[in-house]
Structure 1
Amino acid sequence: MGNDASQLKGLEINEKPTECTDFWSHYQANIRDSCRYFGLKSDGSVSVFKGESILGPLWTASTPLEKFCNNILKYRHPFIVRYISAWQQRSTFHLATEYIQPLAHVISSQTPLQKCIGLNNILQALVFLHEQGKVSHNNISTSAIYVSGDGQWKLGGLQYLCNFSEQTPAYLKQSRIHRYDKAVDPNEDTNEPTTKVDQYAFAVLVEDIFKGCKDDEVPYLKEFKKFCRERLQSPDCKQRPSLSEVMQHDFFNHEFISVYKFLSFLPLKCNEEKTDFFSNILQCLKCYDEETVAKQFGGLLLSRLTLLDQTARKDVIPYILKPRNDRTQNGEHCGFFTLGVFKEHLKPRIIQLFSVRDGQIRMLLLAHFSKYVHVFSHDELSQHILPELLLGIKDTDDALVSATLVCLSELVPILGADTVVGGKRSRLFTDGRPNSNAKVLSLVKNGKANLIETHVQAKSLQDFQCSESIYTQNIATSVFEQALPLNERPSPVGSESMDIEIIPVKPTYQAAVESEDDWDDWDNSNHKLRIEDPGNSHIDGTLLEAITLPQTSDKKLSQEFIETESHAEGSLEHSILLQKAALEAKKNIIDISELDIKNKIDQSKKGSDEFDFFADMTPVIEKQKVAPVREESEVGDYSSKLNFVPNNEMDENEGWGDTWND
């Protein structure tokens, strides 16, 4: 923007101009951190006109762009280009307006019905200038018409505007050099003053707009063209009707335009008229092209006044906010617009509505949120919709907060809980469903073998794992119960327990090592070694037990224990050998007394000087430091040591064992 500061903060102007004329260059721009009010795309889009100083008889007081700026600032109308800001930067004058683009760039994509509504807008703006402003435009042509972001035609080119009293042949002759030659009234050359220049130019505009269109594409188009040639372009200026009379023609009053006018002037209608209108509007609009209806009525059907009307909220809005799906179920009502049309024309308006701080409008959007949430992209939901919803949960209205939380739950499957909820999350709940199949154990830590638990089909209740042990009443269990009584539940620090735990298992050799990180209670703290028969065992009624070996036991003993068990199949001696091996393992366990530090020292310090580990733990009583005492004359009557006066009769060996002054 140069060294001079712009009046619009955060304004970014495109380098390539959209339009260049004799007076200015038209650029598209956007405002960062704006309120998303100026453009349909909610990105702060605006238009900027740059004009240089131009010499001429009409521009002695101000440049053409400055005059255009002053006129749109003075004459405000919904169908006149809206003024935003203006500033001077060096020798260049800047004018910022709402986002608009020249009509010539989009006229080829306009349908005949859109052109009809566009002409109706321009005609209403001209009637306002003639009757309320008492001024003449003097420059009606396609170059003076712009299209806003929502598809509305806006009147511009007000640099030649003047009062009717100033509209002299001399004034018109001075401005003729830059005006549209085809729209120049032949009567301007006469010395008689005329105030019907705009009527002639409007007839030429109608001819240019509908050039190449068939007369049956718009109701009463053929009759209106004839009316323009015979009445508006009449050689006799006095025979030309006023522009307000032109608005009474049937061309501007057929059904499609009547719906448009009713929605445009909704505040002027009574409740009875609104009720009757909104009850039948959808049936009426079904007769017209869907995309044309979406372009022209999308903004009006989702306007503030429509959303607040009770009849519209019941009979219109539920169908407008729901994209049409051909696969309806259970007698659902289908939406009015197809998914493609909804995304292109309705979705940008819904994004704008979420920034409106009106509780009734927000509640209406939240009530139908599940119907249209799927049409938004991931970025649109995270950047536009989600921030507005998070703002809604801070409101004091409990009903609005409740509806907002429901809509946030709709976003969790789409955006994820991390985006919607935010913050640090952790797994607080586990799956408590019982497991029907055997688990595949993971690799054991510290380099131990990777043991896999074999899958066994469940045939009885004993095959399932449960919280309590189930024992079969047979010979093997009775022997174990006599020799090895079960211990009580180990303490939390019992991961080093030396007790032997008897657990019933299937007659299959199996080794299972459980990780210390996955234990659910104290019973699972020990590493369990299950011994199962790898083949089809022939032992019936004999229950093999898995012995839990302590972590401090010798690995060699464990291996011998496994080999001993592998050769003892099918007899009771196998159980007795298993019992002896368990007792032998228990005998070899290091006694707790051997862990005493003193015993360790005695064994390690045989034949050498003993080292006292507790030497540094002997309490040291420091002697009291005595500060130098002044002479009695200086001290006066004060005594040291908290006025303590020793008793001369007391024995010096009593008390602490040393004198106070040592």
Structure 2
Amino acid sequence: MEYLKSLGSAAVSTIVQKSGLNLPFSLGAKNNAFEGKTIWSLYDATKRDDGSPVSVFEFDAASNPHKKKHLPLANNALKKLRTIRHPDVLKFVDAVTTDTTVYIMTERVRPLSSVIDGWSSKAAKDRETWLLWGLHRISVALSFVNDQAASTHGNIHIDSIFLSPSGEWRLGGFEVLSNPKDESAVLYTLGTLLPDPNTYASPEVKSSGWSILKNNNPSAADSYGFGLIIHFVFNPSQLAPPTSHPPHPPPQPSSRGAIPGGIFPLFKKLLTPDPRSRMTVKTFLDVGMSEVAGEGSGFFSHNRLVNICQDLDNFALSGDSEKSNMIRMLKESADSLPPEFATHRVLPALVSALERGGASASAASIVPLLLQLGTNVSIDEEYVTAVIGPVVSLFASPDRGVRMALLDNLDEFKDKMDKKMVVDKIWPHLQTGFTDTVVILREATIRAISQLSDKLSDRILNNDLLRHLARLQSDQEASIRTNACILVGRLGPTLGYSTKRKVLVPAFTKALKDPFVHARVAGLMGFMATIDCFELDELASKVIPSMSFTLLDSEKLVRDQAFKAIALFVKKLEEHAAAMVCYKSVLPSRTDDCDTNSRGSQKQQGNRVRCLHRSVLQGRMHPARRIW
């Protein structure tokens, strides 16, 4: 659409502006590979109200008068897409029409024809699994159109099939979809207006025209087209089979190509020239889903992706054993799942099950699985949206199984979260674990803090967190008291200056008086780990006196650690005290040069010496510096 290019991708067409209409989307790039294959132009676009990605099918007869004869087909496609709602049919979002243009906004999709070649390089087994999964979705959609809607699609070919963001096949191309009872049905009168109609038309149409379909089963023409699609997806580089040309001979084994041997007999029945004996798509689907042994049966029911989709739809309502089987199957096949399917289909389904509380018993297995499937997401922005966002939202879950699984696997995703996300979305829910009645959850919460401490704000570190840890040092569980003391020791260097002086000595001293031997050892090790956090005068006046009584502790483990700690602090003080002596030896020679007869001069010298000793003791002056 050339007139849009001058206005930019977010612009609306001049015709729509003159009509006083506003398009509910902003157009993006055109899919040039799709151009000319149907009556539509296909654009990537975004919704104006929320910025979500969509696709826009544009029919524009204003800039190309020769297309005006196709306007009834465009209007019919819009009408049918509005009314036929099915999970395997292209999802309709919105539409805008004028006298000469039709815009249909759908979910974001890609044409199947632009993707099929990329699968030729995949492993043969994975490619066959993917293709059969897609054919299953189209056969379900066609069965719905033919049986429930009692209509004929009439336009079944590769360019009528699209892929959703999750990689699932969607049926579109409703330009001539008609019900024989519909007085305004366009299939029987305007079918010849379809682009290249003879390529995909069934034998009866080629011999007697489109009106003959009104007297046949609604599925007859669609079944033939479905057979041609099977040939194309498995053999994209080959021409259409000879049966598509008069006199329509039955397919020969030599024309099978990559079509699986199990479905080749059914493929031949779909291409039977006589519409009365031709296999219907519904029968093809039933045979594929059958568990009973028979010719080509079970190729859908034994397909891994088909089973995963069915299990995901019922996951929240399944029993624990069924969920366990499902999770095991996903783990075994995680590395071979199509990346878009894992990201946009499997991950949201598992997260939804956890959020609804329908999978608490399996939470410990689901959360690691979410993170495993997330490795398929290569773009950081998509990873945050598809994995981190849902996982972080699970911290709000009241289910202890979910919360415990998140804490146990925190190491797998902590580096993907920024500081704002941790402070705003995780900490408010994480801190509730400090007061949980379940011991193991309190312990896991303490362990999690050590992994997230570098992403917590100063206010949380120096206020909220320390209050929780102070309370946990009086916990009834000895292991929690011990771990709380260890965490204080690890956090010590990151605390503010005034917080260190107020908190560290009381926290470690309390641990030294704990009846649990390992808590007392943790207190001593906490003092040792934070030795650089104390002023030199504090080491002599507060730290050593606070821990000296443990030299005679009843437990040898504590006594040994106490002597090590005392030795460490004494050594540091000895080194400092030795540096102080040199200044006293210098004092007499310097005072001789002063006016010793003056009382004021002597007093001044004394003050200077005391000031020097205090400065060195407090670590504020290098011992080698001379001030005289």
TM-score (norm 1): 0.54
Report Cα offsets for 1:4-49 as digits up to 9, x if no partner: 56353xx432154454245222111224673xxxxxxxx7211122
Pairs aligned (count): 447
- Determine whether 1:53 maps to 2:90: no
SS at match of 2:592: helix
Specify the structure having the higher radius of gyration (Cα). 1
SS at match of 1:238: coil
SS at match of 2:299: helix
What's the offset of the Cα at 1:77?
0.8
Task: State how 1:220-299 maps to structure 2 within 5 Å.
Answer: 221-229=260-268, 231-249=269-287, 250-257=298-305, 259-266=307-314, 271=318, 274-285=319-330, 288=333, 290-292=335-337, 295-296=340-341, 299=345
Match of 1:199 in 2: 223
Does structure 1 retain, via aligned residues, the 8 Å contact 2:90–2:107? yes
Match of 1:69 in 2: 78
- Determine whether 1:148 maps to 2:164: yes
Q: Is the alpha carbon distance of 1:389 and 1:112 closer, same or farther for their aligned partners in structure 2, counting shifts above 3 Å?
A: same
2:307 aligned partner, one-letter code:
V
- Determine whether 1:417 maps to 2:418: no
Does structure 2 retain, via aligned residues, the 8 Å contact 1:20–1:26? yes
1:143 aligned partner, one-letter code:
D
Does structure 1 retain, via aligned residues, the 8 Å contact 2:430–2:445? yes
Q: Is the alpha carbon distance of 1:411 and 1:462 closer, same or farther for their aligned partners in structure 2, counting shifts above 3 Å?
A: closer
- Determine whether 1:532 maps to 2:588: no
SS at match of 1:47: strand
What's the offset of the Cα at 1:50?
2.2
What's the offset of the Cα at 1:302?
4.4
Structure with higher helix content: 2
What's the offset of the Cα at 1:105?
1.9
Report Cα offsets for 1:48-94 as digits up to 9, x if no partner: 22221389999879554433222222111111111111224795432
1:246 aligned partner, one-letter code:
F
- Determine whether 1:430 maps to 2:479: no
What's the offset of the Cα at 1:314?
4.6
Task: State how 1:487-506 maps to structure 2 within 5 Å.
Answer: none
Q: Is the alpha carbon distance of 1:382 and 1:44 closer, same or farther for their aligned partners in structure 2, counting shifts above 3 Å?
A: farther
Q: Is the alpha carbon distance of 1:25 and 1:353 closer, same or farther for their aligned partners in structure 2, counting shifts above 3 Å?
A: same
What's the offset of the Cα at 1:198?
0.4
What's the offset of the Cα at 1:137?
1.0
Q: Is the alpha carbon distance of 1:465 and 1:377 closer, same or farther for their aligned partners in structure 2, counting shifts above 3 Å?
A: closer
Report Cα offsets for 1:150-193 as digits up to 9, x if no partner: 11111111111111345999944632342554321011132743
Report Cα offsets for 1:618-651 as digits up to 9, x if no partner: xxxxxxxxxxxxxxxxxxxxxxxxxxxxxxxxxx
Match of 2:148 in 1: 132
What's the offset of the Cα at 1:368?
3.6
Q: Is the alpha carbon distance of 1:162 and 1:212 closer, same or farther for their aligned partners in structure 2, counting shifts above 3 Å?
A: closer
Task: Give me the whole-angstrom Cα distance separating, in 1, the residues matched to 2:417 and 2:535.
Answer: 46
Match of 1:174 in 2: 190
Task: Give me the whole-angstrom Cα distance separating, in 1, the residues matched to 2:113 and 2:282.
Answer: 26
Does structure 1 retain, via aligned residues, the 8 Å contact 2:301–2:307? no
Q: Is the alpha carbon distance of 1:177 and 1:436 closer, same or farther for their aligned partners in structure 2, counting shifts above 3 Å?
A: closer
- Determine whether 1:44 maps to 2:52: yes
Task: Give me the whole-angstrom Cα distance separating, in 2, the residues matched to 1:376 and 1:163.
Answer: 53
Task: State how 1:455-494 maps to structure 2 within 5 Å.
Answer: 463=574
Report Cα offsets for 1:123-150 as digits up to 9, x if no partner: 1111111222111111111101111111
Q: Which moved more, 1:102-111 or 1:404-413?
A: 404-413
Task: State how 1:537-548 maps to structure 2 within 5 Å.
Answer: none
Please provide the CA RMSD for this pair: 5.4
Report Cα offsets for 1:357-395 as digits up to 9, x if no partner: 996498776544456666669786468776554786899
Q: Is the alpha carbon distance of 1:174 and 1:112 closer, same or farther for their aligned partners in structure 2, counting shifts above 3 Å?
A: same
Among 329, 346, 350, the alignment partner of 1:300 is 346
Structure 2 residues not aligned, in runs of 5+: 1-10, 120-126, 238-252, 288-297, 464-494, 505-529, 537-567, 606-628
Task: Give me the whole-angstrom Cα distance separating, in 2, the residues matched to 1:270 and 1:379.
Answer: 32
1:532 aligned partner, one-letter code:
S
- Determine whether 1:14 maps to 2:60: no
Task: Give me the whole-angstrom Cα distance separating, in 2, the residues matched to 1:280 and 1:270.
Answer: 14
- Using the aligned pairs only, state the percent identity: 15
Task: Give me the whole-angstrom Cα distance separating, in 2, the residues matched to 1:142 and 1:266.
Answer: 30
TM-score (norm 2): 0.57
Match of 2:204 in 1: 187
- Determine whether 1:208 maps to 2:257: no
Does structure 2 retain, via aligned residues, the 8 Å contact 1:47–1:99? yes
Does structure 2 retain, via aligned residues, the 8 Å contact 1:137–1:161? yes
Match of 1:309 in 2: 358
Task: Give me the whole-angstrom Cα distance separating, in 1, the residues matched to 2:431 and 2:534.
Answer: 48
Q: Is the alpha carbon distance of 1:141 and 1:372 closer, same or farther for their aligned partners in structure 2, counting shifts above 3 Å?
A: farther
Q: Which moved more, 1:97-106 or 1:256-265?
A: 256-265
